[in-house]
Amino acid sequence: MANIVLVPGFWLGAWAWDKVAESLRAAGHDVLAVTLPGLEADRTDGAGIDLAAQTRFLVDEITTRDLTDVVLVGHSGGAFAAYETLDRIPARIARIVYVDAGPVANGTSLLDTLEPAQHAVIEAELAERGDGRYTYPFDPTADPEMLDGLSPADLATLRARAVPQPYGVAASAIRVGDEARLKVPAHLITCMFPAEQVEAMLAAEHPFLAEFAAAERGGVHGLPTGHWPMFSRPADLAVLLAEIAG
């Protein structure tokens, strides 16, 4: 059985993994789901929260608990802290799994991967809120592909429990440099893009996937749904993670 650490993406806490974690524990795995700094339910602003703070927290969680042979799972924007954590403590990580996400090159921020129009929306809300955070509406009419597969109950839960995201995390450039990170098998669970398309991009040496391509390849796994499979397909996601944990 494996030590599986589940890292949620932007706006979410450990609670987002509840159904997946329950299935994995029932299968005998030890599971730790985390809430990254800045995403606590009672957080009132984003002051002092950047990617480095989240990475330090995640490293501390793993080392303080003396976890080894960890299957580290990062969803969406949470994959940035997961990848930096792999870089900091590669000897403790047996596999890293990116859920509808992937590693990016050293010096790249999540904002660098967004379109200018998306930047403008975030900047406008930051100015309006004034607390260094921004939200996501979870509105299927505005973003049907991202929210594909979510039931009305799922959407209600996300609207009720998701918290504003600290801007400093998205604006932080990732910092990695330990070549040992590339020796840890890396898996990609792709939801919004067909696995075949991702494999074709890898074969074509697409620059967006260069960091993943440079790692010890564990495989690309298709799980067709929207961007939040822990809600839309939790049982199937748990099965995939258990198979990857091996």
Q: Where in the sequence numbering do the catalytic residues fall? A: 76
Helix, strand, or coil (residue 93): strand
Contact 21, 87 (CB under 8 A): no
Identify whether the C-beta of residue 126 lies closer than 8 Å to the C-beta of residue 167: yes
CA distances for 240 relative to 50, 95, 223, 243, angstroms:
30, 13, 9, 5
Amino acid at 45: D
The CA distance from 90 to 86, in Å, is: 5
Instruction: State how far the alpha carbon of 117 is from the alpha carbons of 71, 121, 122, in Å.
Output: 35, 6, 9
- Per DSSP, helices labelled H in the chain are 18-26, 51-64, 78-88, 116-129, 152-161, 167-171, 195-203, 210-214, 229-232, 234-245
| Amino acid at the residue 109 | S
Q: Are 188 and 78 in contact (CB under 8 A)?
A: no
Contact 191, 101 (CB under 8 A): no
